[in-house]
Each structure stands twice: as C-alpha cells, then as structure tokens.
Amino acid sequence: MNAKTPGLSKQDARTEAERLIREAMEKKKLAVTKGDTRIEAKCGKCGAPNRVVATKGERRVEFKCKECGQQQMSL
C-alpha cells in the first residue's frame, strides 16, 4: 500500500462526510428557525384580512389592523 496516495484517505473521506452532514443539519436548523408562519387574521372590528407573521411556536400574535388600526390578538 502506498502511504503517500494523493486524494482522500478513508479517514479523510469519513471526516468529509461528517462535515457535510453537519453542514446540512445546520442549514436545516436555520430553515426551521426561519420558518415563520404567515397567518391570515381577520380584524375583529372591521373584518379586513391582515397578514400577520408569527414566529414558530407562537400561537397568538398581536397585530394592528391595516384598515382601521385596531390593536388586537390573532386567534
């Protein structure tokens, strides 16, 4: 066996694979934290639809109606 074989050894290949997996997981994590939910909230006062962005895990979002300015919570 030639110890000076150019290119990736078995150890290097494994390290490279692990690095790629880790990178993919990091990206996934980022995508999840960035996964804000868009809620179509209807104004309780004038009935106008409002697009509200909720952070992941958040269920009730405070928003101000774009039509009448009513401050309220989405359901």
Subset of residues 7 to 36 that bind Zn ion, contact rule: CB under 5 A? none
Q: How many CA atoms lie within 13 A of 72 on its CB side?
A: 19
Q: What is the DSSP letter of 7?
A: S
Q: Which residue has the tokens 């995508």?
A: 31
Residue 75 touching Zn ion (CB under 5 A): no
CB 62, min distance to Zn ion, A: 14
By the rule CB under 5 A, 41 interacts with Zn ion: no
Are 62 and 71 a contacting pair, CB within 8 Å? yes
Q: Which is nearer to Zn ion, 35 or 69 (CB)?
A: 69
Which parts of this chain interact with Zn ion (CB under 5 A)?
43, 45-46, 48, 65, 67-68, 70
